[in-house]
Chains A and B, each alone.
Chain A
Amino acid sequence: SQQGEEDPQALSIQEGENATMNCSYKTSINNLQWYRQNSGRGLVHLILIRSNEREKHSGRLRVTLDTSKKSSSLLITASRAADTASYFCATDVNYGQNFVFGPGTRLSVLP
């Protein structure tokens, strides 16, 4: 079974709205990372949050981590059409030697 699972699997919102994506995992982690992928393209690193951190911001992105619930959320504020992509969380399960990706959330931002 997968370590990370994203929720929802697909999300469609209007431009300007906020988008929240969740990720759950099963084992203890060292850090959790969020990535963005445009269709058929490479993965772009968005943000890394360590297991001892609870919240992190980067521009319009806000990531939270709840290690007691083994879950993380990615919030994109004031979404833009250009934010349309798939978003994946990845958990570090072996001190930086092995990362497990969740199935991803397909975000569509409608103009």
Chain B
Amino acid sequence: AQRVTQPEKLLSVFKGAPVELKCNYSYSGSPELFWYVQYSRQRLQLLLRHISRESIKGFTADLNKGETSFHLKKPFAQEEDSAMYYCALRPRGGYSTLTFGKGTMLLVSP
């Protein structure tokens, strides 16, 4: 069975400060990792996936198989980054059901 752990329920930073949202996973096979974001009053949407190796809205995340982590980082937080962030895992191959963490609320203050 797979599990995704996001240890922080809430992360509060000031605008311009660096941000790191932590995600650890447990899975015996080869996983795909994702970050989803939910802005206030909006639906859940994909932010980025590890296989794309891209930066979205200034966010990056690197899969560390040794530490089984997929932390989300941004060097300079903006107020519009305030949202709920969910880390999710999907086994490679097969159909694409996702296992989500409990989420971290990011609050960026001016």
> A and B: real partners?
no
Interface residues of chain A, those whose CB is within 8 Å of chain B, are none
Interface residues of chain B, those whose CB is within 8 Å of chain A, are none
